[in-house]
C-alpha cells in the first residue's frame, strides 16, 4: 500500500475506473436500445419468414423423388421452404451439368453460405447476452468506491446516489442479457430446423441427379436458369401467390367442414325420420262365420233368381 501511495498508482487506477463509468453507462443504454431492436426484428422475422416455413418433409422428399425435370422447379417453389433455401436448391439443380465431385462441393458451399448467414445473426445476440452482465457488473463496482469513501466521512447522500447508479446498471445489464439470451435460443431452434430441411432437400437432389447419371438420362450441357427465374419471382408475385395459397387452404377447409356438416345432418335426419306406420291387418274371420256368409249368399242368389223368373212369366 505504501508503494501504491508513493508512486500514485492507486490514484491512476481510481481515475481510470471513474473515467470508465460514463462509457459503461452509455454502453448499457446502447445495449438496451439494441435489445429493443432485437425484439422488433424477432417479431418481423416471425411475420415475414418463419410463419411461411410450412414444409412437410416426408411429402416434399417424395415429391422431389417422383418429380420430373420439368416439374422439379414447381415442386421446389411450392415446397413451403424459405426463399433463400429455394434459391440454394434451384442453384444446385441448375448446375447438375457439373461432375459428381464438383456438384457435391457446390452443395456443401451453398449449405455453408446459408449456415453462415444464420450464424452471423445468432452471434450478435449471443455476444450481447454475454457482454451485458459484464458491463452491468462494471457499472455496479465503479460507483461503489466513492460510495464507501463517502460512508467513511459520513456523507450518506453520496453513498445513496452511488448505490442507485450501481443497482440501476446491474438491472439494465441483466435485462439486456435476458432478452438477447431468449431471442438467441428461439432463433437457434428455428435455424437448426431450417438447416436440417435444406440439407435433406440437397441430399435428395444430389441422389436424383446421380440416379439420372446412372440410368443414362441426358443432362444439360450448360447451367439452366431456374434460380434466376425464382430471383425475378419475388415481391408482388410471391405475396400474391401466398394470398392465393391461403385462399385455397381456406376454401378447402370450408368445403371439408361443409361435407362433415352435411354428413352429420343426413345421419340426424335418418335418425329423426319416422318410420311409415303399417296398416292394421284385418282380423281373421272365424270358420263358422265364413260358412254362414256363404250359405246366406247362396240363399240370396237363389231367391233373387226366382223373383226375376216370376216377373218374366207375368
Any idea where the domains of the chain sit in the sequence?
24-245
Question: What's the pLDDT tens digit per position in 12-59?
Answer: 877 888 888 899 999 999 999 999 999 999 999 998 888 888 888 888
Mapping DSSP onto H, E and C, the string for the chain reads CHHHHHHCHHHHHHHHHHHCHHHHHHHHHHHHHHHHHHHHHHHHHHHHCHHHCCCCHHHHHHHHHHCCHHHHHHHHHCCCCCHHHHHHHHHHHHCCCCCHHHHHHHHHHHHHHHHHHHHHHHHHHHHHHHHHHHHHHHHHHCCHHHHHHHHHCCCHHHHHHHHHHHHHHHHHHHHHHHHHHHHHHHHHHHHHHHHHHHHHHHHHHHHHHHHHHHHCCCCCCCCCCHHHHHHHCCCHHHHHHHHHHHHHHHHHHHHHHHHHHHHHHHHHHHHHCCCCCCCCCCCCCCHHHHHHHHHHHHHHHHHHHHHHHHHHHC
Whether 112 and 121 have beta carbons less than 8 Å apart is answered as no
Q: What pTM was estimated for this model as a whole?
A: 0.67
Mean pLDDT of the chain: 79
Output 301 or 142, whichever has higher pLDDT.
Answer: 142
Identify the pLDDT of residue 292. Answer: 47
Question: Is the model's pLDDT at 286 over the cut of 60?
Answer: no
Lowest mean pLDDT among 3-7, 39-43, 168-172, 188-192: 3-7
Output 310 or 81, whichever has higher pLDDT.
Answer: 81
Identify the pLDDT of residue 129. Answer: 94
Question: What's the pLDDT tens digit per position in 203-232?
Answer: 999 998 888 888 887 788 888 877 777 766
Identify the pLDDT of residue 66. Answer: 87
Highest mean pLDDT: which range of 4-13, 90-99, 191-200, 290-299: 191-200
Amino acid at each position: 500500500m505504501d508503494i501504491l501511495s508513493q508512486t500514485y498508482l492507486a490514484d491512476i487506477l481510481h481515475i481510470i475506473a471513474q473515467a470508465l463509468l460514463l462509457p459503461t453507462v452509455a454502453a448499457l443504454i446502447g445495449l438496451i436500445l439494441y435489445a429493443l431492436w432485437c425484439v422488433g426484428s424477432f417479431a418481423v422475422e416471425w411475420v415475414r419468414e418463419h410463419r411461411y416455413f410450412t414444409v412437410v418433409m416426408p411429402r416434399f422428399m417424395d415429391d422431389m423423388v417422383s418429380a420430373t425435370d420439368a416439374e422439379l422447379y414447381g415442386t421446389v417453389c411450392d415446397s413451403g421452404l424459405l426463399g433463400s433455401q429455394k434459391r440454394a436448391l434451384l442453384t444446385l439443380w441448375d448446375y447438375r451439368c457439373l461432375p459428381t465431385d464438383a456438384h457435391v462441393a457446390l452443395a456443401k458451399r451453398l449449405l455453408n453460405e446459408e449456415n453462415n448467414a444464420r450464424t452471423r445473426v445468432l452471434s450478435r445476440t449471443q455476444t450481447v447476452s454475454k457482454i451485458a452482465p459484464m458491463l452491468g457488473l462494471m457499472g455496479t463496482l465503479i460507483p461503489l468506491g466513492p460510495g464507501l469513501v463517502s460512508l467513511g466521512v459520513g456523507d450518506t447522500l453520496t453513498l445513496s446516489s452511488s448505490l442507485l447508479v450501481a443497482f440501476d446498471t446491474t438491472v439494465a445489464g441483466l435485462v439486456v442479457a435476458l432478452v438477447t439470451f431468449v431471442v438467441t435460443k428461439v432463433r437457434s431452434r428455428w435455424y437448426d430446423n431450417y438447416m436440417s430441411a435444406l440439407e435433406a432437400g440437397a441430399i435428395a437432389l444430389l441422389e436424383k441427379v446421380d440416379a439420372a447419371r446412372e440410368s443414362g438420362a441426358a443432362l444439360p450441357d450448360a447451367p439452366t436458369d431456374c434460380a434466376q427465374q425464382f430471383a425475378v419471382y419475388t415481391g408482388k408475385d410471391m405475396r400474391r401467390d401466398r394470398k392465393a395459397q391461403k385462399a385455397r387452404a381456406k376454401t378447402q377447409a370450408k368445403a371439408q367442414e361443409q361435407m362433415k356438416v352435411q354428413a352429420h345432418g343426413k345421419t340426424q335426419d335418418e335418425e329423426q325420420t319416422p318410420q311409415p306406420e303399417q296398416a292394421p291387418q284385418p282380423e281373421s274371420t272365424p270358420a263358422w262365420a265364413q260358412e254362414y256368409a256363404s250359405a246366406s249368399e247362396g240363399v240370396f242368389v237363389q231367391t233373387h233368381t226366382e223373383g226375376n223368373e216370376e216377373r218374366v212369366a207375368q
